[in-house]
Structure 1
Amino acid sequence: MLSGARILRAALVLLASGGLMLAGPQAATAADPVKCPPSAPKCDVTAEDPGDTGDSDPGGGGSGGGSGDGGSSSGCRRANGEEIPCSVPGLGDWGGNTCYWLLVDPQPPADALVWGDNKPSEGAIYRPTLCPDFDYEGAGTFVPRDTFFPDGELGAAPTVTPAEVAQRAVEQMTLNGPDIGIVPEPGKTGLVGLPVWMWNNEGETTTGPQTVTASAGAVTVTASAKVEKVVWNMGDGTSVTCTKPGTPYKADYGKRKSPDCGHVYSRTSKGKSGNKYKITTTATWTIHWEGGGETGELTEIRESDTEIAIGELQVVG
């Protein structure tokens, strides 16, 4: 049994080379390599594999199968996510993640059962021609039949909003939690009452700015991300919110407090796990995007952590 992808590729290659004849109202018949299941009163067209065309685009491996002949547009997708032409000469328009559909000509009378509760003024009746995702082998298999589609529903690429494209841009970014700098450093012990310096080492993936452009169809969006703030949970029940990356400590700063991101512990870390305070940092990334005639804001949260030991100065009399 040919896979749905090979059926579709084979059919498009044959169409492009003029080697595929399509069915009439009841069944598809043609000289080899076209076949139609005998149990199906109406069916799609399948084709024997003309040779492995690999993963190239449908129609790309056949004579005359260039992009100008394989389909009039792209951007539609099968149920498995594979992108395929929205319209193919001879097969019709893609619809419902199932089949290519051709307009029935002439259309059935307005009182025909196939219309159901729909009216000819609202759409038209189409016939399935190629349904690569259906398996006609076995009992209970569904056979697509002539079906009503509202005007404008077939052959249209899925509508993508600028906000959705913006989210795709964010997914292409590398937004990390803070790259923690702290004094006293891990492995050393600070003292109660002395200042602790904290900072987020600056970089494109830790503080920003970071800019990515993404496109889908005719919509292009540019998104720019930067860290708005970092909240430091100090492990002693307090938290510090820093709206700047923080200042890296230097030895000549002595016992001064950090000008923009610091803390002072009032008790030791004795009794905590490992006799250390666990510090958790939470970075809030703000992403501004614009494109497709719209603008917007998105937020992403990233975390990282470290530990610090705080002791007490012992005075021996």
Structure 2
Amino acid sequence: MIVTEPGATPDPGSGGGGSSGGGDGGVQMCSWNGQQWPCWDDDLGWFSSADGCYYKASDPQPPAGDPSWGGHDASQGAVYEVNCRGVGGQLSPKPPMFFARPPGGPPPPDRPYDLGMKALAKIHFDTPDVHAAPGTTAVVGAPVWLWYTATGTTSGTQTAVAKGRTLSVTATATLTKVHWDTGDGSGADCTGPGTAYTPGARADRPPCGYTYRTASAGQRDQQYYLTATLTWHVEAVRSDTGARVFTVDFPVTSDRPLPLKVAEVQALN
């Protein structure tokens, strides 16, 4: 649920609202039956402190002649959905009601940041499934191919949109870097998932790779453990002005380290 900036004081019918808290960027709260409830809810509408009910215009409006109009028509007002809090805080729907004017006033303006966060929450960032070649034992001084299984949630660009009442915000996540922790205190940086090694490929020219300078003898289980960290750059942009709402960079690391034994080359005399 998104609670927007404080708007008009809720006043369904002749009830009156009464609010506390609030402020820019905060949640305006209303009191009823000794408890605090958000004065505005995107799904429920405005809250009335007079009766503990939320009121929101029905969408679509009921057809002409429906009993909920109470003998009125659309030129005289609108029908509103009603959801009321019980003494224990439980929410129960009530029959729709007609009002000549909007209870509580118009909905408050959309908060672009909240919409941006809703859009970001729709994007999935999966952990990469990492691979290496050679897959069991590598050799000091020889390149190791590194890659992970590329999917729509581990590479490229992802986009999601969150729609408000008057605007929408699009969040775009772009993979900008892949860092491989090679287990020897160093690592390799790549721009993408790399390429799986196939027989016949130039083993000394991996699109994404690393060359070990020391053997894994003496390490845990006599092996190095490899992980890949994907860095995503996310930018959220509002639809009405094209202005940037926020940007953020964050890492996603493989959760199953890949063991790799690295041996010294044995020279024959």
TM-score (norm. length: structure 1):
0.51
The match for 2:226 among 245, 263, 279 is 279
Q: What's the CA shift for 1:230?
A: 0.8
**Alpha carbon RMSD of aligned pairs, Å?**
3.6
Q: 1:160 and 2:107 equivalent?
A: no
Question: Any runs of at least 4 consecutive aligned residues in structure 1 with deviations exceeding 6 A, and if so which?
Answer: 22-25, 79-82
Relative to total residues, which structure has the larger helix share, 1 or 2? 1
Relative to total residues, which structure has the larger strand share, 1 or 2? 2
Instruction: Give the distance between the partners of 1:158 and 1:177, measured in 2 at CA.
Output: 38
Q: Which residue of 2 aligns with 1:61?
A: none
User: Is the CA contact (8 Å cut-off) linking 1:196 and 1:257 kept in structure 2?
Assistant: no
Residue 259 of structure 2 aligns to which amino acid in structure 1? E
The match for 2:248 among 291, 298, 312 is 298
Q: Which residue of 2 aligns with 1:135?
A: 87
Identity over aligned pairs, percent: 26
* Pairs within 5 Å for 1:207-226: 207-226=155-174
Instruction: Give the distance between the partners of 2:261 and 2:124, measured in 1 at CA.
Output: 31
Instruction: Give the distance between the partners of 2:121 and 2:214, measured in 1 at CA.
Output: 42
Greater CA radius of gyration, 1 or 2? 1
Instruction: Give the distance between the partners of 1:98 and 1:243, measured in 2 at CA.
Output: 58
Segments of structure 1 that go 5 or more residues without pairing to the other structure are 1-14, 16-21, 26-42, 45-76, 87-93, 102-129, 137-153
Relative distance call for 1:166 and 1:316 in structure 2 (3 A) is same
Instruction: Give the distance between the partners of 1:24 and 1:163, measured in 2 at CA.
Output: 32
| Number of corresponding residues | 193
Q: Secondary structure at the match of 1:164?
A: helix
Instruction: Give the distance between the partners of 1:227 and 1:181, measured in 2 at CA.
Output: 19
TM-score (norm. length: structure 2):
0.60
Relative distance call for 1:267 and 1:82 in structure 2 (3 A) is same
Residue 186 of structure 2 aligns to which amino acid in structure 1? T
The match for 1:177 among 109, 115, 127 is 127
Segments of structure 2 that go 5 or more residues without pairing to the other structure are 1-11, 17-31, 55-81, 89-103
User: Is the CA contact (8 Å cut-off) linking 1:195 and 1:264 kept in structure 2?
Assistant: yes
Instruction: Give the distance between the partners of 1:97 and 1:287, measured in 2 at CA.
Output: 44
Residue 212 of structure 1 aligns to which amino acid in structure 2? A
* Higher RCO structure (Cα 8 Å, ≥6 apart): 2
